[in-house]
Amino acid sequence: MTAASGVWSAPGRVNLIGEHTDYNDGFVLPFAIPMRTTVAARPADGPQWTVRSRETGETIVIGESDLAPGAVTGWAAYVAGIPWALRDAGHRPPFLDLSIASDVPLGAGLSSSAALTCAVLAALVDLGGLDLPRDEWPALAQRAENTYVGAPTGIMDQSASTLCRPGHAMFLDCRSGDREHVPFALAEHDLAMLVVDSRAPHSHADGEYAARRASCESAAATLGVAALRDLAEADLPAACAKLDEVTARRVRHVVTENGRVLATVEKLRGGSVTGIGPLLTASHASMRDDYEITVPEVDTAVETALAAGAYGARMTGGGFGGCVLALVDADAVERVADTVTAAFAERAFNQPTWFKAVAAGGAARDE
Ligand code: GAF
């Protein structure tokens, strides 16, 4: 590939709180991380998109006949889904040669998929001079994932990857699209966000995610609401009485998690950062006991981080493995990480990796 016409990138994200609430029209509070997927792009010679991946070493050619859901599979589907969704929305995306590299860990619950779709989208919109306001990027990237790839995600990850701002978490109402960039500069408070990648093998994660989503939709239908977002905590006893025991717990997670997002935003607005700790930990308990999406590795990471002095800790992302975040004193990051690593060794789990997460910015043109 000769010199690129430009380089675009989009980040992964850590979700501070608000898990499995997005597809229930609820609230989320993610922040973008500095790890990004980068796309170097230049106009193609013919009517196709030639995509080279640094990570897999593969080159895939996507032709116009591939712009049909399911025509391309694997990682390249996340690329092909973007020109498909753009055309479907009436745009004329340019044919490009794309060279892709990423330092967002795969399968770690840090939204590597949205980083890929959103970086490709940024390149196509910019180089094609397409009239697509940034506010509309999340829904278009979500449609690529939902309909082209067939992954039934909500809108959180694509929103975080395109709209987050450095030094802020993004409080997003997934029904209205309203958002507030909430200051989240932990270093100013002598705090840090430790993120531990449990490296637990993800088994059946896709099927379990789809099952949770289906269960929420069927509960909403039974209860006569448009989405579980429409239930308040006070409604829970009457609502749960109409549901089987497992579905009642799924509903309780979603409803209480929405409340915890609102409470977390209130604490942050009031400058009480350590005050969010118990909310993070309660979110984890709800994911473990009610939504049943945690695994022993992430439960161990949370328990160990709390015992080592974290103010709060929880799994982040879709679940069944992936990462745990722990809010800790700035000078305690390594000590807490080492304690978690030792606990994993004792239990013969995979050795975890970790990093300190700071809130970064969304998709951008880099060069
Ligand atoms: C995954 C999905 F892609 C998001 O839409 C969200 O549902 C999340 O899991 C759980 O909160 O990242």
ipTM: 0.99
167-212 pLDDT, tens per residue?
Answer: 999 999 999 999 999 999 999 999 999 999 999 977 778 899 999 9
How much is the average pLDDT of 309-335? 98
Whether the CB-CB separation of 145 and 117 falls below 8 Å is answered with yes
Average pLDDT, the chain: 97
The finding on whether 25 has its CB within 6 A of some atom of ligand 1 is: no
The 8-class DSSP code of residue 13 comes to: E
User: Which tokens belong to 63?
Assistant: 């032709």
The finding on whether 257 has its CB within 6 A of some atom of ligand 1 is: no
186-357: CATH architecture: 2-Layer Sandwich (3.30)
> Which strand (E) or helix (H) includes residue 15?
strand 6-15
pLDDT tier at 43, thresholds 50, 70, 90: very high
The predicted structure's pLDDT at residue 206 = 86
How far apart (Å, rounded) are the C-alpha atoms in residues 276 and 264? Answer: 6
The predicted structure's pLDDT at residue 131 = 98
CA of 64 relative to ligand 1 center, distance in Å: 30
For the chain, what percent of residues have pLDDT higher than 90? 97
**All structural domains of the chain with their residue ranges:** 6-183, 186-357
CA of 346 relative to ligand 1 center, distance in Å: 31
Q: For residue 243, give the nearest of 230, 228, 258, 229 by alpha carbon.
A: 228
71-98 pLDDT, tens per residue?
Answer: 999 999 999 999 999 999 999 999 999 9
Residue type, position 72, single letter: V
CA of 318 relative to ligand 1 center, distance in Å: 5
Active site residue 126: no
The 8-class DSSP code of residue 109 comes to: S
Q: What CA–CA distances, in Å, run from 186 to 62, 249, 284?
A: 43, 33, 21
pLDDT tier at 3, thresholds 50, 70, 90: low
Q: 25, 66, 97, 157: which is the annotated catalytic residue?
A: 157
The finding on whether 153 has its CB within 6 A of some atom of ligand 1 is: yes
The finding on whether 317 has its CB within 6 A of some atom of ligand 1 is: yes
Does residue 221 carry a pLDDT above 70? yes
Question: DSSP 3-state assignment of 132?
Answer: coil
pLDDT tier at 69, thresholds 50, 70, 90: very high
pLDDT tier at 1, thresholds 50, 70, 90: very low
Q: For residue 79, give the nearest of 35, 48, 36, 33 by alpha carbon.
A: 48
How far apart (Å, rounded) are the C-alpha atoms in residues 366 and 35? Answer: 14
Other C-beta atoms lying within 10 Å of the C-beta of residue 74: 10
Higher pLDDT, 10 or 3: 10
CA of 20 relative to ligand 1 center, distance in Å: 6
In this structure, whether the domain defined by 6-183 belongs to CATH 3.30.230.10 is answered with: yes
How far apart (Å, rounded) are the C-alpha atoms in residues 254 and 264? Answer: 15
The finding on whether 38 has its CB within 6 A of some atom of ligand 1 is: no
